[in-house]
Amino acid sequence: MVSLTSQAKQKIREILSKAAESKATPGLVFGATSVEKELYFANAGPRVFGEPSSDPITEDNIFWICSQTKLIVSIAVLQLVERGKLQLDEPVSRILPELANPIIVEGRFYDKDSPTKPAHGEITIRQLLNHSSGLTYLREQRDPPHHMSLAYSSKHNKDNPIGYFYSLVREIYDSIPLKFEPGTSFDYGWGSDSLGFIIERVTGQTLEEYFKEHIFLPLGMTSATFYLTDEVQKTAVPLSFRDKDGKLQPWADQIPLIEQDPEKVRLHLAGIGLYSSLKDYLTLLRHLLQVQANTADHPILQRSSVNSFFLPTLSKDGEKALGAMVRGQDLQWSTALCLNTYDWPGRRRKGSGCWYGWAGTYYLVDPDTGVALVFGSQVLPSQDPEVVRLWSELEEVFYAGLTK
């Protein structure tokens, strides 16, 4: 059983407090768990940046976790695979005909002069899980690089929101455009959103309903939701924005976002749509560790399914493409997570899974060490340099303070 020294806890508090007091970042939350129990939570700064009367930020405050939604939809898909409702290698067009007959774009996307050709293969569930389908967020930088795609930020129509979503992905094309032949490489894109639509069609439930029944309520994740209601907003951490001069500003709609009025949400976006406290998200990560260790009460997945979250799935070309996206690091992707292929000295071990949310949240699960971490703020543009630096520093302090 691992524990965290009091010296490490103090150092973590000091790092967070220094960042918050200097206004280098908005409010911050850091949490850690072992297989057995929560190890530590630390918080610093106000919940509302730039508001003198704001209450302090805490681990119970709700964050827009964005792409951390992707792990949860992967869990849901594997649940349905276990129940025989889905098969990993079946073509998704049976359930989601909007993805039938995709085309490969040979050149710049959304350029009418770029040649296209029919894809030889069909997109499968497995390829949506590990981002090897060819679906891509790529927009050739026609918009500022920190802006969202229109498929996310547009107002989806009420009559056929899924069809409208894919019409925005297609833009000038008659079929869904892919960057490469399905299953041959890696690109980050619309896979998780597509999986969410598949779950809704297979189960007849909204994604909110399915997640609550099969994941959130069994684990006691009471904060997690797709709806930013008035009640949720009372404890939510508002976004901040770092301008081109590096100064933090209160949020003033500097970037178009997904629909946040709960009365107007037409789609449950499994790639970016969830709100949750980091404490609840850490509960989910601890449960995955417990399933692996055969100590989970009422596991929401079989051990073999959770094990697949820590096994590489990409081809050599896919691994190379992932490395190019994350600045040359040697990484892999499983059915749910980005994976370390080697030990990071003084930090996470080989086989650890991780990812982050577009608005400034991060997590990792290290099954070899038996720990998981969450960390976050709410600041855009994505991957704020100061938040990224703090995440690395806190991880190093945490691992240095672990004892058995």
For 279-301, what is the mean pLDDT?
A: 98
- pTM of this structure: 0.97
Specify the amino acid at residue 133. S
Residue 149's pLDDT band (boundaries 50, 70, 90)?
confident
Assigned CATH topology for domain 75-203? Beta-lactamase (3.40.710)
Give residue 108's pLDDT.
Answer: 87
CA separation, residue 333 to residues 34, 89, 353, 380 (Å): 23, 17, 9, 25
196 pLDDT higher than 70: yes
In the chain the first and final C-alpha atoms are separated, in Å, by 6
- Contacts (Cβ under 8 Å, ≥6 apart) of 3: 34, 39, 402, 403, 404
Give residue 144's pLDDT.
Answer: 61
User: Strand 3-4 to strand 28-34: parallel, antiparallel, or no bridges (unpaired)?
Assistant: unpaired
157 pLDDT higher than 80: no
Residue 329's pLDDT band (boundaries 50, 70, 90)?
confident
Residue 46's pLDDT band (boundaries 50, 70, 90)?
very high
For 163-187, what is the mean pLDDT?
A: 96
Residue 321's pLDDT band (boundaries 50, 70, 90)?
very high
Selecting from 3.30.70.20, 3.40.30.10, 1.20.1050.10, 3.40.710.10, what CATH number does the domain 3-68+221-403 have?
A: 3.40.710.10
Per-residue H/E/C for 26-44: CCEEEEEEECCCEEEEEEE
Give residue 143's pLDDT.
Answer: 57
Assess contact for 73 and 192: CB atoms under 8 A: yes
Assess contact for 241 and 380: CB atoms under 8 A: yes
* Residue ranges of domains in the chain: 3-68+221-403, 75-203
Lowest-pLDDT range, 135-139, 141-145, 240-244, 282-286?
141-145
**Fold: same for 3-68+221-403 and 75-203:** yes
Give residue 290's pLDDT.
Answer: 99
Give residue 142's pLDDT.
Answer: 53
Residue 139's pLDDT band (boundaries 50, 70, 90)?
low
For 73-84, what is the mean pLDDT?
A: 99
Q: In terms of DSSP H, where are the helices of 267-313?
A: 278-292, 303-308
Give residue 146's pLDDT.
Answer: 67
Q: Which of 201, 199, 191 is nearest to 80 (CA)?
A: 199
